[in-house]
Amino acid sequence: TTQHPFYDEVHPAGVQTPPQRYCIFMTFDMTAGTTATDLQSLLARWSAASAQLMAARPVGQVRPTSDVGVGRDTGEALGLDAAGLTVTIGLGTGIFDHRFGLANRRPHLLNALPSLPSDNLDTASSDGDLSVQVCADDPQVCYHAVRNLARMARDVVQTRWTVMGFGRASAGKGQQTPRNLFGFKDGTRNISTPADFDRHVWARDAGWMTGGTYQVVRKIEMNIEIWDADRVSDQEHIFGRGKSEGQPLTGTAEHDTPRFAEKAKDGTAVIAPTSHIALAAHENNDGIKILRRSYNYTDGINRFGQLDAGLLFIAYLNDPGHFVRLQRKLGASDLMNEYIQHVGSGLFAVPPAPKRGHYVAEELFR
């Protein structure tokens, strides 16, 4: 199966990579009293381990040579192949506060997200000093990677929040468009061309961050039981797209370009101006585009006995302000708001891929 390189790429793994089937997203806080050297050594260890894991190798011996030894790798991925694993490491705003003496190296666009209209954020599922996005086509390979990264960092970090995603809700090059838990195709008009990646995703002229990107993560709860009671024609009105084909309501095929100005006989717009796609489309936002690389998630059943599920929304973009701008509009008038709430949030700077023999964000410590 597929193996992706960790080293010697210009851009970080797990962004332009065609979305794998599963994703575990986890954030960590540096423990009180840790130093810049602890952070540096953690990033070096995580980088070396990520390269091993992505090559389907254990991160050390599973069976120690002595009878009193503890295993280094926990073992549950032995015999499994790489399953397209990628590890993507992000740095939160906390890394650049006073603790590590790195305040003057902060990427200039890495500012805490402002509060947004749709926010109902839970601090227990928001923020973190470091983020780890692990994606693979096998959930066991995903979990093994996250577990072992967490394990080797126990001396300097504590876990903060996590979401386990399945059923990728975005398409990469050549992939069929998958569906989110509202049953609609998701990722139809996503960034796909290298020119658009250069223009909208990769950080330019950004010093040590050049070639990296920013990661915006939102845990968005979806009230799927209420949604399922809604007429499909209303659901289509909410998105501005058909449910079966995913076509814009002004077209017949999924990839037809939506015509936002088109009017019905009664004079109203065919694609409602408050539909999700009308609000989010680049035509209506000064050309802004973001890469969406989301996954579906479920947390089982909530305290009201209802299905607890939603979208692990992950976006990559070279200016987090673009997300803020879109979300201000969506949060204010998206017809979908009745059915969703944003309960978790994080913003991270994702450095470019390291060269072999080096590690993620090494330049920060020069």
In angstroms, the CA 360 to CA 154 distance is 19
Part of the chain binding ligand HEM (CB under 6 A), chosen from 26-34, 43-51, 157-165, 179-187: 179-187
In angstroms, the CA 297 to CA 60 distance is 31
Part of the chain binding ligand HEM (CB under 6 A), chosen from 50-58, 64-72, 157-165, 326-334: 326-334
- Least CB distance from residue 231 to ligand HEM, whole Å? 17
The only residue of 24, 132, 220, 335 in contact with ligand HEM, by rule CB under 6 A:
220
The only residue of 156, 281, 291, 314 in contact with ligand HEM, by rule CB under 6 A:
281
Q: Binding to ligand HEM by residue 239, rule CB under 6 A?
A: yes
Q: Binding to ligand HEM by residue 224, rule CB under 6 A?
A: no
Q: Binding to ligand HEM by residue 249, rule CB under 6 A?
A: no
Q: Binding to ligand HEM by residue 126, rule CB under 6 A?
A: no
Q: Binding to ligand HEM by residue 274, rule CB under 6 A?
A: no
Q: Binding to ligand HEM by residue 354, rule CB under 6 A?
A: no
Q: Binding to ligand HEM by residue 330, rule CB under 6 A?
A: yes
Q: Binding to ligand HEM by residue 187, rule CB under 6 A?
A: yes
- Least CB distance from residue 87 to ligand HEM, whole Å? 24
Q: Binding to ligand HEM by residue 317, rule CB under 6 A?
A: no
Q: Binding to ligand HEM by residue 271, rule CB under 6 A?
A: no
Q: Binding to ligand HEM by residue 222, rule CB under 6 A?
A: yes
- Least CB distance from residue 328 to ligand HEM, whole Å? 9
Nearest to ligand HEM of 134, 317 (CB atom): 317
Size, binding site for ligand HEM by CB under 6 A: 28
- Least CB distance from residue 91 to ligand HEM, whole Å? 22
In angstroms, the CA 242 to CA 300 distance is 28
Q: Binding to ligand HEM by residue 314, rule CB under 6 A?
A: no
Chain residues binding ligand HEM by CB under 6 A are 180, 182, 184-190, 218, 220, 222, 239, 241, 258, 276-277, 280-282, 290, 311, 313, 323, 326-327, 330, 340
